Amino acid sequence: MNKIIRIFSLISLVFLLFSCGNDDRTFQLKTVKLTEYTRRESLPEQNLYIKVFKDEIPTSIAQTETYPNSLPLPVVLKVHPSPEMNLYAESYHIELWGDVTGYIGNCSVNMDNYKIVFPIDMEVKSENLEVSLQGSWR
């Protein structure tokens, strides 16, 4: 019985060490997948793009390439530049923009809702926007 408890304790310790491994590491955002947004049918034909913001900074830290809203979703858009983000220590939000209508919607990146060790595709959504952040840990 003691042997089982020791093995279980060792496995738990190893799991705990690996699950906390990225708390002080940065995430490099490479692409954003636009999955859905509200008012899609009521908007005029335009090019869409996504801006990435650090919450305390009013200017965007990155922006995606454009995509015509007449084409189907989902779509994966490259981010320029590819920012390094400390997702566990700082707050970020994503905004969808159109070149005709301007601001369309946003969603927050709140790592309190996630515990991701090696994210490949992290879904972030609000009532008016749904995206996935894609990248790698550095």
- The length of the chain, given as a count of residues: 138
Per-residue pLDDT at 108: 92
Per DSSP, what are the bridge partners of residue 92?
54, 109
What average pLDDT score do residues 23-46 get? 87
Query: What are the tens digits of pLDDT across the range 11-21?
Result: 544 444 444 44
Average pLDDT over all residues of the chain: 82
Q: Report the predicted TM-score, pTM, of the whole model to 2 decimal places.
A: 0.77
Q: Tell me, what's the pLDDT at 116?
A: 59
Cα separation, 5 vs 108, whole angstroms:
41
Instruction: Check whether 9 has a pLDDT greater than 70.
Output: no
Is residue 104 pLDDT above 90, yes or no? yes
